Amino acid sequence: MPNNLISLATQLQRKEISSVELTTEYLKKIKKLNKKTNAYVFTNEEVSLSQAKKADQIIAKGAPSVLTGIPMSLKDSIMTIDMPTTACSKMLAKYIPTYNSTVYTKLLNNGAVLLGKTNMDEFSMGSSCLNGFFGEASNPYDTNRVTGGSSGGSAASIAQDTCVYSLGTDAGGSIRQPASYCGIVGFKPTYGAVSRNGLIALASSFEQIGPMAKNVGDTKIIFNVIKGKDEFDQTAFEIPRTTRQNPIIGIDEDHVEKTADKDTLAVFEKAIKACSKLGYKTVKIKSKYNDIYAKLYYILAYAEIASNMGRYTGIDFGYSTKSKYIDTNDFIKKSRSEAFSNEVKTRIMFGNHMLTGENMEKFYYKALKMRNDLVEDYYLNVFSKCDFILSPTTPTAAFRKDYKHESIQESALTNIFALPANLIGLPSISIPFGVSSDNMPIGMLLTGKRNFDNALLSVAENFEKHSGYKVLN
Amino acid sequence: MSKYNLVVGFETHVELNTKTKIFCSCANEFGGEPNTHCCPICLGEPGTLPQLNKEVVRYAIKAGLSLNCKIPQIMSMDRKHYFYPDLGKSYQTTQSARPICLEGFLTLDSGKKIRINHIHIEEDASKLIHDAQNIYIDNNRGSTPLIEIVTEPDIASVEEAREYIEKLQAILRHIGVSDCKMQEGSMRCDVNISVNKEGEPLGTRTEIKNMNSISFIEKAISYEYDRHVDLIESGQKNQIIQETRRYDEKTDSTESMREKEDAQDYRYFPDPDFLVLRLDSKFVENIKKTLPKLPAEIKSELIQDGIDEKAADLLVKYKNVSDYYLSAKTFGDSKILATYILGEIFRFLETEEEKEQFNIKISANDLGALSLLQKNNKITAHIAYSIIPKMLKDGNPHTAYLTKEDLEGFDNTEIDKLCQEGIAAMPKAVEDYKSGKEKALKAIVGYVMRATKGKADPVYTENKILELIR
């Protein structure tokens, strides 16, 4: 893919191009292409160019990092003082961040240039990027199709080359699914590998910030900059360095065949062949929990969502009702009712329902226990046989915007392969590997053990070499 | 005596005096300009995460160890949900499933143990200020660290209730985790009250929330006890309902808060922003090592030293007094020092607050030295008592007030002479003593003391008289 991170960094450092020139070029491109995809919801030329100028000075001094001067985008749920951060919700439409997220601070310390904030499903709730307050995002390869979500804007911004890389967030496939739909690489690190400080919370025990880029090599570089423990997030820690020679790849063929469509299965077959080309042994694996990932996710993640969304009362920040209210409760009720979309309200109600009265024991604690059982099962029965799991990222390529999922179960299916990584906290990466019969990108998913992020990225890099995916135009 | 037992349990919130708040680095200070001690984290801004203050964990464990609690190997944090303007995140981070301390007790003077069910750590809510139209929020108090100490319903009288709270205050002040000022809200009690007949199951309990004075607690318990008993006696037992009540000091009565408190579902669940915390046994052992002597231990040592129980109680009641006393004791005489502190010095420090602070101008060293002069009969108690108020006022050392004459004392040949004079002057006393009235000797000692204006050594004098009349 042209304009990848390493080639641009080389050009910048050889002073063949300046960051200001590069940034200007990208800003022009955004102006031209954003109408098509609505990938960006906020840009600020002044901010971007001043960061680019600073980067050029660092390069002139001869002390750049690989990221210095490289233009990137960030999902709109990642706090940036320089630009609005709204999680694409009416609730935060006028919110001005008071602090920078840890990941943004780290990128800035490396001389990164922020081009803008990318579209997403409101508060990351969705898998389509159709649910944001600032309008739908469209897949650059077919604007009648979704980008996927919730980090759809980030995926589209990379796919149409309106930035070099982006950061998304992934609580249930939200990085990997849009990456697969848009033909880019998307990586969800081990839970805790990257600080969540400054990420507008969706489901705290499920989500991670992760890099989205044009190839695995770029992804690796970005990950190494943003990872690490953080005084502002006590769940963040330093992952160990890992490698895996002669890795064994686990495949749950039955599960994939039952779920994926024909086009996806064809690409999957190629991925399995790639294993033998790479000399990787493959083994059959089976988890007895395949049918309950989505249920566990709905119960546990939505409970966390309901709790995390409580702070939006309109009192201290965010949208406040303009209509008359009787008392504080009425004020809170009206502010929330007017600012949240139905998707958000549904999840809050569902989550609170799971935590209310006897449901707490019946659903929440039962699911919590099963989540632990699932972790145990994976380590005892799956990772005892293999080092990495290979599956498609999603059962199909990007669906049409007007496609109506028949049920909540069916819509959960788009993340069926992605969810275990969130439930267990595993590193997982989607790599573009082929196309569907109608030329839409299809990604393959590699998932590793906790903390084996480096090893996973190395294996993914090797896989990528055998990818049948060519950049579409 | 009534045939109804009083059954009382306490839930006591204690504000810890750590330097910073429980989840961020904002100053943990009482008062201050509204909204000057806050940051995105304690305001609950989107994207912020808590960082548990290790000092809070240490302080809570200190409190637990001092109250004979078990410290479990792991603890976890939970969220308690409710919407109210004093709670920015709309949930309070607290402990429900796995609190930091379990199963302790506090021993009353009678030897009775008040069992502690558990102690947990949590964040305080912000302060709301109401006026006619508006509610104002002061977030300085938001996310300051609290421990909540929950007893079993073991308290059976108003006196025990007072003793429990006073002992609790003394302990927590001694270990330095809180100033326990009820008037400033750094200690607040929720009191659960029920009555029952001996041998019968517990009655329905009512809870009086947010009590901030011991005397109000006493009054409220008495009022509730009478109310419960009256309702039962008049056949209206069903009118005692499990509810939250407020004590009104103006009318000295309690009234229902008419809130559906118990119907409220707080939807407690594990806070995903915290890892389950392992309380390493070494960590706990190290905290144990830093614990000072507790009031009960100091008290029993004082009693062994010959201090009477009441005096010992007063000396350990206030942390600063106790510290001062123990320090002065290393330079002087323990009994004499107790009389100085509980007498002249406490007379000078009128309020509880002043005693608590014990900010006096006499160094422990100097007061100790003064007590030694008295002990060695260089000066009399009378002289010591007369100069302590001056020392308190001016802050000069005792040497500044003692005249040469004060310190001279009397030489023994002179005292021997006065003893002989006394014996000669009081033949009746000598006779009485010989016939077994030992006290009669005191009259002759008194004669010598008067003649020397109190400067004679009473022990020497008594021995001399005995020697002479034998």
Beta strands in B108-144 (DSSP E): 113-123, 127-130, 135-138
pLDDT band at residue B36 using 50, 70 and 90 as cut-offs: very high
Examine the pLDDT at B408 and tell me if it is beyond 70. no
> What digits encode the pLDDT tens for the residues B179-201?
898 888 899 999 999 998 888 88
Q: Measured between alpha carbons, how far is residue A400 from residues A128, A154, A410 in Å?
A: 10, 19, 15
The answer to whether the CB atoms of A307 and B52 lie below 8 A apart is no
Which residue in the block uniquely carries the two structure tokens 């001996």?
Answer: B198
Q: Which residue of A has its CA nearest to B269?
A: A355
Determine contact: B137 vs chain A, CB below 8 A: yes
Q: Using CB atoms, which residue from A197, A234, A313 is nearest to B90?
A: A313
Q: What is the pLDDT of residue A1?
A: 42
Dihedral pair phi/psi, residue B10, rounded to 5°: -120, 140
Residues of A in contact with B50 (CB under 8 A): 234
Rounded Cα distance, A130 and A123, in Å: 12
Determine contact: A368 vs chain B, CB below 8 A: yes
Examine the pLDDT at B368 and tell me if it is beyond 80. yes
pLDDT band at residue B406 using 50, 70 and 90 as cut-offs: low
Task: Quote the minimal CA–CA distance from A239 to chain B in Å.
Answer: 16
> What digits encode the pLDDT tens for the residues B205-247?
899 988 989 989 999 999 999 998 888 888 888 888 888 888 8
B417-424 mean pLDDT: 86
Closest Cα partner for B380 from B438, B448, B440?
Answer: B448
Per-residue tokens: A408 = 């909540």
> What digits encode the pLDDT tens for the residues A259-275?
999 999 999 999 999 99
pLDDT band at residue B118 using 50, 70 and 90 as cut-offs: very high
Strand (E) or helix (H) holding B390: helix B381-394
- The rounded mean pLDDT for chain A is 94
Examine the pLDDT at B1 and tell me if it is beyond 50. no
> What digits encode the pLDDT tens for the residues A98-137?
999 999 999 999 999 999 999 999 999 999 999 899 999 9
Per-residue tokens: A159 = 């796919």
Q: What is the pLDDT of residue B20?
A: 96
Rounded Cα distance, B436 and B28, in Å: 68
Residues of A in contact with B137 (CB under 8 A): 315-316
Determine contact: B31 vs chain A, CB below 8 A: no
Q: What is the pLDDT of residue A49?
A: 98
Determine contact: B318 vs chain A, CB below 8 A: no
Residues of B in contact with A97 (CB under 8 A): 47
Examine the pLDDT at A285 and tell me if it is beyond 80. yes
Give the domains, in start order, of chain B with CATH numbers: 4-283 (no CATH), 293-408 (no CATH), 412-469 (1.10.10.410)
8 A C-beta contact, residue B115 and residue B103: yes
- Residues 6 or more apart whose CB falls under 8 angstroms from that of A378 comprise A287, A420, A424, A426
Rounded Cα distance, B79 and A354, in Å: 15
Determine contact: A198 vs chain B, CB below 8 A: yes
Per-residue tokens: A466 = 């055998």
From the candidate CATH numbers 3.40.50.12280, 3.40.50.2300, 3.90.1300.10, 3.90.180.10, the one assigned to the domain spanning A1-473: 3.90.1300.10
The answer to whether the CB atoms of B47 and A303 lie below 8 A apart is no
Residues of A in contact with B43 (CB under 8 A): 316
Q: What is the pLDDT of residue B216?
A: 92
Task: Quote the minimal CA–CA distance from B136 to chain A in Å.
Answer: 11
Q: What is the pLDDT of residue B348?
A: 82
Query: Could you give the ipTM of this predicted complex?
Result: 0.94
Q: What is the pLDDT of residue B190?
A: 94
> What digits encode the pLDDT tens for the residues B438-467?
888 888 888 887 877 766 777 778 888 888
Q: What is the pLDDT of residue B354?
A: 81
Per-residue tokens: A201 = 């919370």
The answer to whether the CB atoms of A357 and B89 lie below 8 A apart is no
pLDDT band at residue A152 using 50, 70 and 90 as cut-offs: very high
Q: Which long-range contacts (CB under 8 A, 24 or more apart) does B212-217 make?
A: B212/B182, B212/B183, B212/B185, B212/B187, B212/B188, B213/B182, B213/B183, B213/B249, B214/B162, B214/B165, B214/B166, B214/B182, B216/B247, B216/B249, B217/B161, B217/B162, B217/B165, B217/B189, B217/B191
The answer to whether the CB atoms of B135 and A328 lie below 8 A apart is yes
Residue-by-residue DSSP string for A238-285? -PPP---SS-EEEE-HHHHHHHS-HHHHHHHHHHHHHHHHHT-EEEE-
The answer to whether the CB atoms of A87 and B46 lie below 8 A apart is yes
> What digits encode the pLDDT tens for the residues A363-376?
999 999 999 999 99
Residues of A in contact with B84 (CB under 8 A): 328
A96, amino acid identity: I
Examine the pLDDT at B262 and tell me if it is beyond 90. no
Q: Where are the alpha helices (DSSP H) in B279-380?
A: 281-290, 295-304, 309-317, 319-329, 334-340, 346-348, 352-357, 364-375
- Residues 6 or more apart whose CB falls under 8 angstroms from that of B288 comprise B65
Strand partners, B74: B278
Q: What is the pLDDT of residue B67?
A: 96
For chain A, the structural domain boundaries read 1-473
Catalytically active residues of A are: 75, 150, 174
Examine the pLDDT at B409 and tell me if it is beyond 70. no
Helix or strand or coil: residue B443? helix
A314-332 mean pLDDT: 92
pLDDT band at residue B364 using 50, 70 and 90 as cut-offs: confident
The answer to whether the CB atoms of B47 and A200 lie below 8 A apart is yes
Q: What is the pLDDT of residue A389?
A: 97
